[in-house]
Amino acid sequence: RSVELSKQTVLLSMLPTSIMDKFGNTVDVFYTDEEKEKFNFWNSYTFNFQIGTQTMHRFFIEAYKAKKLNYASVISYLEGTWFNEVIVRNYHGQAVEVKPIDTLKPGLKRLFEELDSFFADNTYQCEFVTVTDSLTLKIEGLLRYFCEKIGIATFKTRQKGSDRLVMEKLLDDLLADIAHEPPLKPEQKTNFDEEDRILIKYVLAEKAGLNLRNAVAHGLMDVFEYSFEHVVVLFCIII
């Protein structure tokens, strides 16, 4: 739907389109028709996202109140996924076993602790700062695990003088890599659902979207910007 609407409206705008941050600074500008179509897509996506997530939030709360959704049920579900599979790493010559689920547990546990406290006493003020910060960054970690699992490198190299340096890929690079048929590697089949990938990009990394990863990692969020709505979306991405 967003793609269709963006193509219908792109030619209506004859002026450059821009994105401003909350301080009023211009952070991106779109001049060409292709750029404007992209901008219009994200505008349309935002509208549909807001409508869709309203239902998502209600469903989450009803499932929680019906005791169908809690920390134990979530962990039980995730333990049956690849999040619970052991990954063997070699750190400075020493074999180390890690599981993606282990770094998820603290943030998920805190989420349900906050909900339990609120529903036990509706005067309780929920604190979603630590939950949002944790889950936002852990999703990026899960993307790295996913790439590693299907054989996509999570690092890239660059030359500095005679030395070859290695650095971790940025989130935008990872999101481009997991496309089912990436533009640069059309033969690559990741089986990653494109609508899921776009959702993750919108929530975590898109300037015209929520851009949570950037906001969290660089300390740009004020306390009143942390919301239950963000938490639910992050939770659903993990699931």
Angle subtended by helix axes 71-78 and 100-120, to nearest 10: 160
Distance (Å, whole) CA 104 – CA 88:
18
Token digits of residue 213: 């990863």
Tokens 């010559």 found at: 93
Please report, as a single letter, which amino acid is at residue 76: S
Taking only the tens of pLDDT, the chain with its 239 residues reads 777 766 665 544 545 578 888 878 888 887 787 887 888 888 889 999 999 999 999 999 999 999 999 999 999 999 999 999 999 989 999 999 999 999 999 999 999 999 999 999 989 999 999 999 999 999 999 999 999 999 999 999 999 999 999 999 999 999 999 998 877 677 778 989 999 999 999 999 999 999 999 999 999 999 999 999 999 999 999 99
Q: Taking the model in full, what pTM does it have?
A: 0.89
The pLDDT value recorded for residue 38 is: 83
Question: Comparing C-alpha atoms, which of 157, 142, 151 is closest to residue 196?
Answer: 142
Q: Which residues contact 179 (CB under 8 A, 6 or more apart)?
A: 190, 192, 194, 197
Token digits of residue 230: 């963000």
Q: Which residues of 67-91 are buried (b: 16+ CB within 10 A; e: fewer)?
A: eebebeebbeebeeeebeeeeeeee
